[in-house]
Amino acid sequence: MKILLIEDDREAATYLMQALDQAGHVAHHASDGETGFAMASAMEYDVLIIDRMLPRRDGISIIESLRVEGNKTPVLILSALGEVEDRVTGLRSGGDDYLTKPYAFTELLARIEVLARRSTPSEAATSYQVGDLTLDRLSRQVTRAGEKISLQPREYRLLEYLMKYSGQVVTRTMLLENVWDYHFDPQTNVIDVHMSRLRAKIDRGQKKQLLQTIRGAGYMISE
Protein backbone atom coordinates (compact mmCIF):
# COMPACT_ATOMS: atom_id res chain seq x y z
CA MET A 1 0.00 0.00 0.00
CA LYS A 2 1.27 3.49 -0.84
CA ILE A 3 0.60 5.97 1.95
CA LEU A 4 1.18 9.69 2.46
CA LEU A 5 1.64 10.87 6.04
CA ILE A 6 1.19 14.59 6.69
CA GLU A 7 2.44 15.12 10.23
CA ASP A 8 4.53 17.93 11.71
CA ASP A 9 5.59 16.13 14.91
CA ARG A 10 9.01 14.81 13.91
CA GLU A 11 9.19 12.10 16.58
CA ALA A 12 5.67 10.83 15.88
CA ALA A 13 6.27 10.89 12.12
CA THR A 14 9.56 8.99 12.40
CA TYR A 15 7.94 6.30 14.53
CA LEU A 16 4.96 5.94 12.23
CA MET A 17 7.03 5.89 9.04
CA GLN A 18 9.24 3.13 10.45
CA ALA A 19 6.22 1.14 11.62
CA LEU A 20 4.51 1.43 8.23
CA ASP A 21 7.70 0.35 6.47
CA GLN A 22 8.02 -2.69 8.76
CA ALA A 23 4.40 -3.54 7.98
CA GLY A 24 5.33 -3.72 4.29
CA HIS A 25 3.91 -0.39 3.12
CA VAL A 26 5.53 2.41 1.10
CA ALA A 27 5.17 5.64 3.07
CA HIS A 28 6.00 9.22 2.09
CA HIS A 29 6.10 12.07 4.59
CA ALA A 30 5.30 15.79 4.51
CA SER A 31 5.95 17.91 7.59
CA ASP A 32 3.66 20.84 6.75
CA GLY A 33 0.27 21.37 5.18
CA GLU A 34 1.34 23.10 1.97
CA THR A 35 3.88 20.43 1.08
CA GLY A 36 1.43 17.70 2.00
CA PHE A 37 -1.32 19.15 -0.16
CA ALA A 38 1.06 19.46 -3.14
CA MET A 39 2.18 15.85 -2.77
CA ALA A 40 -1.37 14.54 -2.38
CA SER A 41 -2.43 16.46 -5.49
CA ALA A 42 0.51 15.43 -7.66
CA MET A 43 0.92 11.75 -6.76
CA GLU A 44 -1.34 8.76 -6.44
CA TYR A 45 -1.75 7.20 -2.98
CA ASP A 46 -3.91 4.45 -1.55
CA VAL A 47 -4.49 6.24 1.76
CA LEU A 48 -3.69 9.68 3.22
CA ILE A 49 -2.99 10.04 6.95
CA ILE A 50 -3.41 13.70 7.84
CA ASP A 51 -2.78 15.39 11.17
CA ARG A 52 -5.40 18.02 11.84
CA MET A 53 -3.17 20.77 13.25
CA LEU A 54 -0.32 21.54 10.86
CA PRO A 55 1.94 24.51 10.06
CA ARG A 56 1.29 26.52 6.88
CA ARG A 57 -2.05 24.82 6.22
CA ASP A 58 -4.37 22.88 8.51
CA GLY A 59 -5.55 19.34 7.82
CA ILE A 60 -9.22 20.21 7.37
CA SER A 61 -8.34 22.73 4.67
CA ILE A 62 -6.19 20.15 2.87
CA ILE A 63 -9.01 17.60 2.82
CA GLU A 64 -11.63 20.10 1.65
CA SER A 65 -9.39 21.28 -1.21
CA LEU A 66 -8.60 17.72 -2.29
CA ARG A 67 -12.29 16.86 -2.43
CA VAL A 68 -13.03 20.00 -4.47
CA GLU A 69 -10.34 18.83 -6.92
CA GLY A 70 -12.13 15.50 -7.21
CA ASN A 71 -9.45 13.59 -5.30
CA LYS A 72 -11.22 10.63 -3.66
CA THR A 73 -8.23 9.08 -1.90
CA PRO A 74 -9.35 7.78 1.53
CA VAL A 75 -8.26 10.01 4.41
CA LEU A 76 -7.60 9.02 8.01
CA ILE A 77 -7.50 12.11 10.22
CA LEU A 78 -5.16 12.08 13.23
CA SER A 79 -5.84 14.60 15.96
CA ALA A 80 -5.48 15.36 19.65
CA LEU A 81 -8.93 16.95 19.33
CA GLY A 82 -11.28 14.15 20.26
CA GLU A 83 -14.59 15.75 21.13
CA VAL A 84 -17.68 14.68 19.20
CA GLU A 85 -17.88 18.06 17.49
CA ASP A 86 -14.25 17.79 16.39
CA ARG A 87 -14.77 14.33 14.91
CA VAL A 88 -17.95 15.42 13.13
CA THR A 89 -16.16 18.42 11.63
CA GLY A 90 -13.36 16.21 10.36
CA LEU A 91 -15.69 13.67 8.78
CA ARG A 92 -17.92 16.31 7.21
CA SER A 93 -14.88 18.01 5.67
CA GLY A 94 -14.30 14.88 3.59
CA GLY A 95 -12.35 12.66 5.98
CA ASP A 96 -13.20 8.98 5.90
CA ASP A 97 -12.09 8.07 9.42
CA TYR A 98 -10.91 9.87 12.53
CA LEU A 99 -8.40 8.61 15.10
CA THR A 100 -7.53 10.54 18.25
CA LYS A 101 -4.06 10.77 19.75
CA PRO A 102 -2.55 8.91 21.47
CA TYR A 103 -3.35 5.81 19.43
CA ALA A 104 -2.14 2.23 19.09
CA PHE A 105 -0.35 1.53 15.82
CA THR A 106 -2.20 -1.77 15.43
CA GLU A 107 -5.49 0.12 15.41
CA LEU A 108 -4.21 2.70 12.93
CA LEU A 109 -2.95 -0.10 10.69
CA ALA A 110 -6.31 -1.87 10.81
CA ARG A 111 -8.15 1.35 9.97
CA ILE A 112 -6.04 2.20 6.92
CA GLU A 113 -6.37 -1.36 5.65
CA VAL A 114 -10.16 -1.06 5.88
CA LEU A 115 -10.07 2.30 4.08
CA ALA A 116 -7.94 0.84 1.28
CA ARG A 117 -10.34 -2.08 0.83
CA ARG A 118 -13.32 0.27 0.67
CA SER A 119 -11.66 2.39 -2.00
CA THR A 120 -10.81 -0.49 -4.34
CA PRO A 121 -12.65 0.67 -7.46
CA SER A 122 -15.13 -1.99 -8.47
CA GLU A 123 -16.12 0.29 -11.32
CA ALA A 124 -12.53 0.92 -12.44
CA ALA A 125 -12.16 1.60 -16.14
CA THR A 126 -11.47 -1.54 -18.15
CA SER A 127 -10.14 0.43 -21.10
CA TYR A 128 -8.65 3.82 -21.96
CA GLN A 129 -8.94 5.72 -25.22
CA VAL A 130 -7.16 8.78 -26.56
CA GLY A 131 -8.14 9.65 -30.12
CA ASP A 132 -7.84 6.46 -32.16
CA LEU A 133 -5.49 4.87 -29.59
CA THR A 134 -7.16 2.26 -27.37
CA LEU A 135 -5.78 0.26 -24.45
CA ASP A 136 -7.85 -2.69 -23.21
CA ARG A 137 -6.87 -3.48 -19.62
CA LEU A 138 -8.55 -6.89 -19.62
CA SER A 139 -6.86 -8.31 -22.70
CA ARG A 140 -3.82 -6.00 -22.35
CA GLN A 141 -4.12 -5.21 -26.05
CA VAL A 142 -3.23 -1.83 -27.51
CA THR A 143 -4.50 -0.72 -30.89
CA ARG A 144 -4.32 2.45 -32.95
CA ALA A 145 -6.81 2.95 -35.78
CA GLY A 146 -7.65 -0.74 -35.41
CA GLU A 147 -4.04 -1.89 -35.84
CA LYS A 148 -2.58 -3.91 -32.97
CA ILE A 149 0.56 -2.51 -31.32
CA SER A 150 2.95 -4.91 -29.58
CA LEU A 151 4.42 -3.50 -26.36
CA GLN A 152 6.91 -4.82 -23.84
CA PRO A 153 5.57 -5.10 -20.25
CA ARG A 154 7.23 -1.87 -19.08
CA GLU A 155 6.07 -0.01 -22.19
CA TYR A 156 2.54 -1.22 -21.51
CA ARG A 157 2.65 0.01 -17.90
CA LEU A 158 4.03 3.35 -19.05
CA LEU A 159 1.30 3.81 -21.66
CA GLU A 160 -1.40 2.65 -19.25
CA TYR A 161 -0.33 5.25 -16.67
CA LEU A 162 -0.12 8.03 -19.26
CA MET A 163 -3.57 7.18 -20.66
CA LYS A 164 -5.07 7.03 -17.19
CA TYR A 165 -4.12 10.72 -16.84
CA SER A 166 -4.66 11.71 -20.47
CA GLY A 167 -4.71 15.45 -20.98
CA GLN A 168 -2.68 15.99 -17.79
CA VAL A 169 1.05 16.52 -17.36
CA VAL A 170 2.70 13.47 -15.80
CA THR A 171 6.01 14.28 -14.11
CA ARG A 172 9.16 12.16 -14.13
CA THR A 173 8.73 11.61 -10.39
CA MET A 174 5.23 10.25 -10.91
CA LEU A 175 6.50 7.85 -13.59
CA LEU A 176 9.46 6.69 -11.53
CA GLU A 177 7.25 5.94 -8.54
CA ASN A 178 4.26 4.41 -10.32
CA VAL A 179 5.81 2.65 -13.31
CA TRP A 180 9.30 1.77 -12.04
CA ASP A 181 8.60 1.72 -8.27
CA TYR A 182 11.61 3.96 -7.66
CA HIS A 183 11.22 6.30 -4.71
CA PHE A 184 14.25 8.33 -5.70
CA ASP A 185 15.67 9.59 -8.97
CA PRO A 186 18.41 7.16 -10.05
CA GLN A 187 19.78 9.84 -12.42
CA THR A 188 19.51 7.60 -15.47
CA ASN A 189 17.84 8.08 -18.83
CA VAL A 190 15.53 5.09 -18.29
CA ILE A 191 12.39 7.18 -18.78
CA ASP A 192 13.72 8.87 -21.93
CA VAL A 193 14.68 5.54 -23.48
CA HIS A 194 11.30 3.94 -22.83
CA MET A 195 9.42 7.06 -23.87
CA SER A 196 11.33 7.14 -27.17
CA ARG A 197 10.47 3.49 -27.84
CA LEU A 198 6.84 4.03 -26.93
CA ARG A 199 6.57 7.12 -29.12
CA ALA A 200 8.00 5.20 -32.05
CA LYS A 201 5.40 2.47 -31.63
CA ILE A 202 2.29 4.62 -31.19
CA ASP A 203 3.10 7.77 -33.18
CA ARG A 204 5.48 6.83 -35.99
CA GLY A 205 3.78 7.17 -39.36
CA GLN A 206 0.68 8.77 -37.83
CA LYS A 207 -0.64 12.15 -38.90
CA LYS A 208 -1.49 13.10 -35.33
CA GLN A 209 1.18 12.79 -32.63
CA LEU A 210 -0.39 11.85 -29.28
CA LEU A 211 2.63 11.61 -26.98
CA GLN A 212 4.04 15.00 -26.05
CA THR A 213 7.08 16.10 -24.08
CA ILE A 214 6.29 19.11 -21.88
CA ARG A 215 9.67 20.76 -21.46
CA GLY A 216 10.63 21.24 -17.83
CA ALA A 217 7.50 19.49 -16.57
CA GLY A 218 7.11 15.95 -17.90
CA TYR A 219 4.99 14.17 -20.47
CA MET A 220 1.40 14.12 -21.63
CA ILE A 221 -0.71 11.99 -23.93
CA SER A 222 -3.51 13.91 -25.56
CA GLU A 223 -5.41 14.41 -28.79
CATH number of 86's domain: 3.40.50.2300
Domain stops at, among 91, 119, 147: 119
Question: What interhelical angle do 153-164 and 190-203 show, nearest 10?
Answer: 80
Residues 76 and 107 in one domain: yes
Residues 210 and 115 in one domain: no
Other Cβ atoms closer than 10 A to 79 = 20
Note the pLDDT of residue 186: 67
Mean pLDDT by 10 residues, the chain (223 residues): 93 92 88 95 92 94 93 93 89 93 90 81 73 92 94 93 88 84 74 94 93 90 90
Note the pLDDT of residue 215: 87
Note the pLDDT of residue 122: 45
Residues 182 and 94 in one domain: no
DSSP secondary structure string for all residues of 118-138? HHS-TT--SEEEETTEEEETT
> Is the pTM here over 0.75, yes or no?
no
Residues 210 and 105 in one domain: no
Note the pLDDT of residue 36: 95
Residues 82 and 35 in one domain: yes
How far is Cα 83 from Cα 89, in angstroms, rounded to an integer? 10
Residues 13 and 72 in one domain: yes
Residues 84 and 134 in one domain: no
Q: Tally the C-alpha atoms within 13 A of residue 29's C-alpha that lie toward its C-beta.
A: 16
Residues 195 and 99 in one domain: no
Range of the domain at 188: 127-221
How far is Cα 95 from Cα 49, in angstroms, rounded to an integer? 10
Q: How many domains does the structure of the chain reveal?
A: 2
Domain stops at, among 92, 119, 146: 119
